Copies of this chain bind each other. A is one copy, B any other.
Amino acid sequence: MSEEGFGKAPAIVKPIYFFDEADGKNKMLLGGKGAGLAEMTRLGLPVPPGFIITTEICEKFYEAGRRLPDGLMDEVRRSISRLESLTGKKFGDPQNPLLVSVRSGAPVSMPGMMDTILNLGLNDETVEGLSRKSNDPRFAWDAYRRFIQMFGKIVLGVDDRKFDSILAGKDLSNPKVLKDIAMSFKSLCEGTGGKKFPADPYKQLELAIDAVFRSWTGKRAVEYRKQHNITPDMAGGTAVTIVTMVFGNMGSDSCTGVVFTRDPETGEKQLYGDYLINAQGEDVVSGRATPNHIDSLVSEMPDVYQQLLGVCEKLESHFKEPQDVEFTVEKGRLYILQTRAAKMNAVAAVKTSIDLYHEGLITKTAALERIDPEGLEQILYRRIDPHVKQKAIATGIGASPGAASGIAVFDVAQAEALGKKGEKVILVREDTKPDDVPAFFQSVGILTSRGGKTSHAAVVARGMGKPCVVGCSQIEIDAEGKSFSVGGKKVVVSEGQKITIDGSTGRVYVGEIPTVEPEISSEFKELLQWSSEMKGIKIRANADTVESAALARKYGAEGIGLCRTERMFNQHDRIMQFVSMIMAENEEERRRALAELEPLQKSDFKAILREMNGLPVTIRLLDPPLHEFLPKEEDLMQKIFELKSSSAKPSEIARIEKILHRVHELSEINPMLGHRGVRMGISFPEIYETQIRSICEAAAELAKEGVAVEPQIMVPQVGLVEELAAVRQIFESVKREVEHRHRIKLKIKFGSMIEVVRACLVADDIAHLVDFISFGTNDLTQATFSFSREDAEGKFLPFYLEKGIVSVNPFQSIDRKGVGRLMKMAVDMARKEKKDIEIGICGEHGGDPRSIEFCSTAGLDYVSASSHRIPIAILAAAQSAIKQNKRLHRHSTIA
């Protein structure tokens, strides 16, 4: 209905395009496959003639309640007539029959998700004609039995396994046998459907078109679109492509194959692929025969090979993108049946991007745009040594990157116990639940046979940064017997046996496979270089150690955006001093304990500041509640119980009891919202005072050595401007005192985390008091959703993701509608108050490409990501800048 309320006149829709008349750029209308064929036809490549029924017709099909639109088949008949005149064959002609393939093809690639029927047009009569014409009865009957099987399965819904059981053990080189098979297939179809197998080629065609359209809403296809976030505006339906059949199964001068224009594993510029002599496409795909490497074609069919090479070059220079090409050779003549952008791994994607640029095919911008930042994860984590040629025993879904080796353990308690003893454990479970989390902590990796990227195991493992493979349905777990098997007991792995998992690729190996640290290729360096030049927003690292700071610097981080001081306290050599600080009963005792910690803190700060010479280092004052540093209540109770049973010294029991008492005193109902961060810093000002003094002293001493220090002091958990004012007072007095002692002027920025909702709402007042603000989007997301992350990810969030209550985990990608809105408000208010205030983000979202794009459009100065993810962040930032530039350019063009 149009806005005026009148009915809209139906748009004049052209339902069918021949390859030579279609606009190959219009994937939306023609589907990817059809568009590619049209484009190749226009380029003069050897494409068999054919035509496309558009995606609009698919939409009409559904609008009409799954019925082919009236008049469509008339159009199809007219198009078949044209095909007949182009090929000189006739559809249904017993002498010289025209055969076609009927294939699906959506605007967005959904490989293998919809249906294809080959050899359509065969029946008991035409098969004889084909046999005579080709002078090859084996070929003709082979084509016919294939057609009946595909048609039976796809159109008539016959169980595929029934066909296979008829095939089993038969001699497929014997035409008579093949004929018998075809007849048995027909009987099978007629037996199942209760109707005669359609002999009329047009009837076959009509049913096939109908089936392809139906497959658009088949279970597999719907699931695939959901998984890949393919929305109706991206793909409204599938097109149907009808192509004149050419045959790779017409003898030893025929073949069919798939070729990549570049190696999708390494990115090397050389043909990569397989072919099978005397076969049809499905033989390659199904894996029933072992194909030859494409290199053999050089000797087997040298002319064809040269021709293919030429086609590939033409395709690459036209599409400016490595291609994945389907071809068939019929009696020495090459036909190209499909082309599409080649899927590559991260290494290959990087290399080809750089190479395509240097070959002059694409611009730098295009080179950067074609790489998926998230994909770089494969390169950035410890991975299986690429020189090791061991085959994986199974492949699941890579759910948390990195490779790990350890002994398989099937029982949670056992995993926990062995892990605590220092054993490297890989926890193997059908799936996991919240109870299993303690075992996660004690494992080096997790493998499950069920679940997807948002399953409990996946979410928890990612949260902990542990390698994890989920949904590995190829392994069958015998929990009782404590073992798993692959391929029906072909491989059996028992508890205690070593396995290796790769959470990036999802692969599972038997034994301890050597792994390697991530390495940086020259192409990767070039990519980072370009990205750095192109990106607008700055990239900093979340790094608490010198090692992490060094890695960040190597990757090109422009500073440290978050250095957590609590991790320093948790180190073995100082946790006892920190505990005595917490146990202090008054300010004096606390100050004594802090005095011992001060030099340790100072030396930590000096090391990191020295490493980051010339770059800013944002140090966050102590954030977690004090009770987090004390032993757990139950452990203490256990200990007391043990001591009492073993009649230990009363003084020792009293000591533990005192700690237990303090644990009780400090315990909180909701520690996330409790006595922590600035709230603790204000109650015990001597803690922040000591930290600030350590930072000032470190800066002063290094400055004297000539190191260019740029420390920034950041206050966590601020919600009230008065809190910030109180800490600022401490900062200023300590700074003055240190400046005075060292006779030096210190340049130290003072700033606030924005991680409390209220801070967003009073960002102007906060801006007034600080040099910088930095969004802590982890806590901000928790408070905005009222989701405690630890509870949510272990309990209801996986369920929410599965049910579609949330589409993306808000702890992975910034929730623009809620959290993002608060951030924008805060940025606007802060900049209004103080134009040049520095604004960053240091939550884990800082490493997420979608979030980086958001931060970049929201006007932040920098994002801070974990050191390992710096390259991802840099590339994502560059892509975001490119996108914004284009938008700007588009707007200015319009204006």
List chain A positions with a Cβ less than 8 A from chain B. 434-435, 664-665, 668-675, 679-680, 682-683, 717, 719-720, 722-723, 726, 755-758, 761-762, 779, 782-788, 790-792, 795-796, 799-800, 803-806, 815, 817-819, 821-822
Contact A761 B818 (CB under 8 A): yes
* Contacts known (A679-B796, A761-B784, A796-B675); A804 close to B669, Cβ less than 8 A: no
* Contacts known (A434-B665, A804-B722, A805-B726); A673 close to B758, Cβ less than 8 A: no
* Contacts known (A761-B821, A791-B674, A818-B757); A720 close to B805, Cβ less than 8 A: yes
Cross-chain contact of A670 among B664, B672, B719, B758 (Cβ < 8 A):
B672
Contact B673 A762 (CB under 8 A): no
Contact A790 B670 (CB under 8 A): yes
Contact A673 B672 (CB under 8 A): yes
Contact A668 B788 (CB under 8 A): yes
Cross-chain contact of A672 among B669, B675, B821 (Cβ < 8 A):
B669
The 6 closest A-B pairs by CB, nearest first: A670-B788, A673-B788, A758-B818, A674-B791, A756-B786, A670-B672
Give the residue name and chain of the B residue nearest to A433 (CB).
B665
Cross-chain contact of A671 among B665, B669, B679, B806 (Cβ < 8 A):
B669
Contact B761 A791 (CB under 8 A): no
* Contacts known (A435-B664, A784-B758, A786-B756); A796 close to B673, Cβ less than 8 A: no
Query: In whole Å, how far is A412's beta carbon from the nearest beta carbon of chain B?
Result: 13
| A671 surroundings in chain B (CB, below 8 A) | 669-670, 788, 791
| A782 surroundings in chain B (CB, below 8 A) | 673
Contact B788 A669 (CB under 8 A): yes
Give the residue name and chain of the B residue nearest to A677 (CB).
B786
Give the residue name and chain of the B residue nearest to A805 (CB).
B722
| A792 surroundings in chain B (CB, below 8 A) | 673-675
Given A672-B673, A683-B796, A761-B822, 11 extra CB contacts under 8 A: A669-B790, A670-B673, A670-B790, A673-B786, A673-B788, A674-B788, A674-B792, A682-B799, A757-B783, A758-B815, A761-B784
Cross-chain contact of A757 among B717, B723, B757, B803 (Cβ < 8 A):
B757
Cross-chain contact of A783 among B665, B786, B799 (Cβ < 8 A):
B786
Give the interface SS of chain A, mostly helix, strand, loop or mixed: helix
13 A–B contacts from the bound complex (CB under 8 Å): A434-B665, A435-B665, A669-B790, A673-B673, A675-B792, A680-B796, A683-B796, A717-B786, A719-B784, A757-B785, A757-B822, A761-B784, A761-B818
Give the residue name and chain of the B residue nearest to A822 (CB).
B761
Whole-angstrom distance between the alpha carbons of A669 and B793 in the complex? 12
Query: In whole Å, how far is A780's beta carbon from the nearest beta carbon of chain B?
Result: 9
Contact A669 B719 (CB under 8 A): no
| A806 surroundings in chain B (CB, below 8 A) | 720, 722
| A790 surroundings in chain B (CB, below 8 A) | 669-670
Query: In whole Å, how far is A179's beta carbon from the nearest beta carbon of chain B?
Result: 56
Whole-angstrom distance between the alpha carbons of A672 and B668 in the complex? 11
Whole-angstrom distance between the alpha carbons of A226 and B872 in the complex? 54
Contact A758 B785 (CB under 8 A): yes
Query: In whole Å, how far is A659's beta carbon from the nearest beta carbon of chain B?
Result: 15
Whole-angstrom distance between the alpha carbons of A434 and B674 in the complex? 13
Whole-angstrom distance between the alpha carbons of A783 and B785 in the complex? 9
Query: In whole Å, how far is A705's beta carbon from the nearest beta carbon of chain B?
Result: 39
* Contacts known (A722-B806, A806-B722); A668 close to B784, Cβ less than 8 A: no
Whole-angstrom distance between the alpha carbons of A628 and B530 in the complex? 56
Query: In whole Å, how far is A279's beta carbon from the nearest beta carbon of chain B?
Result: 49
Whole-angstrom distance between the alpha carbons of A779 and B673 in the complex? 12
Give the residue name and chain of the B residue nearest to A676 (CB).
B786
* Contacts known (A674-B795, A795-B674, A806-B720); A817 close to B761, Cβ less than 8 A: yes
Which of A755, A779, A791, A817 has the most chain B CB atoms closer than 10 A to its own CB? A791
